[in-house]
């Protein structure tokens, strides 16, 4: 459940309850939208004069909202595909990346831009980049809405980072707690 109070036509974020956890406001949608605008500018600069058509790889389920919004801001031809991986149970990373749904198209020789909702330890990004390289990708770029720099210690370069955040558990804008909370436009932090 979520409650919003209205004051002078501006929406005020209130705490939300998901199952047994309480979350409080952390990042409002206007900041998220601005961050997506900024990262789209960087990607457009890199791809506007290229002749190849990159493949955006939406990492399900968390990056659906980010991918959709980012695509609306891209000004070059691109294709979309998805993969579904999981490394979380509840509020904790298991440290193991499970492939739930594999690649749905041939990526041989293609430029692939991984679109992630959040990168924390980076285990999923390392495993995904290895999988894409083995599948024959010509070039792999990584784009994430959120990065937790305090815990990311991997050697895989993150090409496009919209926002950096603290190492806290969050929900909203595609991120979940036990598959719930993805639908909130804003981002909330565990109280």
120 catalytically annotated: yes
- DSSP string computed for 41-67: HHHHHHHTT-SS--EEEEEETTTHHHH
Of the candidates 37, 38, 120, 159, the residue annotated as catalytic is: 120
Residues with Cβ within 8 Å of 181's Cβ and at least 6 positions away in sequence, in order, are 16, 18, 23, 171, 172, 175, 188
Residue with tokens 């509020």: 91
Distance from chain centroid for Cα 44? 18
CA distance 15 to 25: 6
Q: Is 96 exposed, middle or buried (0-12, 13-18, 19+ CB in 10 A)?
A: exposed
Point out the residues that are catalytic.
120
């Amino acid at each position: 459940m979520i409650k919003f109070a209205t004051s002078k036509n501006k929406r005020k974020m209130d705490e939300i309850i998901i199952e047994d956890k309480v979350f409080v406001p952390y990042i409002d949608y206007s900041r998220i939208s601005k961050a997506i605008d900024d990262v789209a500018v960087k990607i457009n600069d890199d791809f506007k004069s290229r002749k190849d058509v990159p493949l955006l790889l939406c990492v399900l389920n968390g990056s659906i909202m980010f991918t959709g919004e980012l695509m609306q801001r891209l000004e070059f031809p691109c294709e979309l595909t998805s993969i579904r991986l999981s490394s979380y149970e509840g509020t904790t990373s298991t440290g193991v990346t499970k492939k739930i749904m594999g690649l749905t198209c041939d990526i041989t020789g293609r430029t692939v831009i991984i679109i992630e909702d959040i990168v924390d330890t980076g285990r999923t990004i390392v495993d995904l980049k290895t999988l894409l390289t083995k599948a024959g990708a010509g070039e792999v770029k990584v784009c994430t809405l959120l990065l937790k720099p305090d815990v990311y210690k991997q050697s895989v370069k993150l090409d496009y980072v919209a926002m950096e955040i603290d190492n806290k558990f969050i929900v909203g804008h595609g991120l979940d707690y036990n598959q719930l909370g993805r639908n909130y436009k804003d981002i909330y932090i565990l109280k």
